[in-house]
């Protein structure tokens, strides 16, 4: 399996993953809970607030990476179709 085929398969796997109800529910509820925890910190709990903030940012980075894998797979699939049709 070549790189394009691997990218296509990873993209399809990632898309199935993010569309799975378990993932979407878990991601949404985790983010909401972290935001709630962040808003409930006391002014004196700077370290705890920073920890929660970093966790929220990491959750966003994870989502961005998965979306990037999906987009890469779609681009690879488009290139594969283009070359199949034109060469």
Total Cβ atoms within 10 A of residue 69: 19
- Following DSSP, what letter does each residue of 21-87 receive, concatenated? HHHHHHHHHHHHHHHHHHHT--TT-HHHHHHHHHHHHHHHHHHHHHHHHHHHHHHHHHHHHHHHHH-
Give the per-residue pLDDT at 83: 77
Give the per-residue pLDDT at 34: 98
Distance, in Å, from the CA atom of 74 to the CA atom of 49, rounded to the nearest integer, reads: 38
What's the domain range around 47? Answer: 3-86
| Mean pLDDT split into 10-residue runs, the chain, 87 residues | 91 96 96 97 96 97 97 93 78
Count of structural domains, the chain: 1
> Rg (Cα) of the chain, in Å, rounded?
19
Give the per-residue pLDDT at 84: 76
């Amino acid at each position: 399996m070549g790189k394009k085929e691997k990218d296509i398969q990873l993209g399809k796997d990632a898309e199935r993953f993010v569309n799975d109800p378990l993932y979407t529910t878990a991601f949404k509820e985790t983010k909401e809970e972290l935001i709630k925890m962040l808003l409930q910190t006391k002014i004196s709990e700077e370290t705890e607030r920073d920890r929660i903030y970093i966790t929220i940012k990491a959750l966003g980075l994870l989502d961005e990476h998965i979306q990037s894998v999906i987009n890469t797979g779609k681009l690879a699939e488009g290139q594969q179709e283009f070359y199949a049709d034109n060469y």
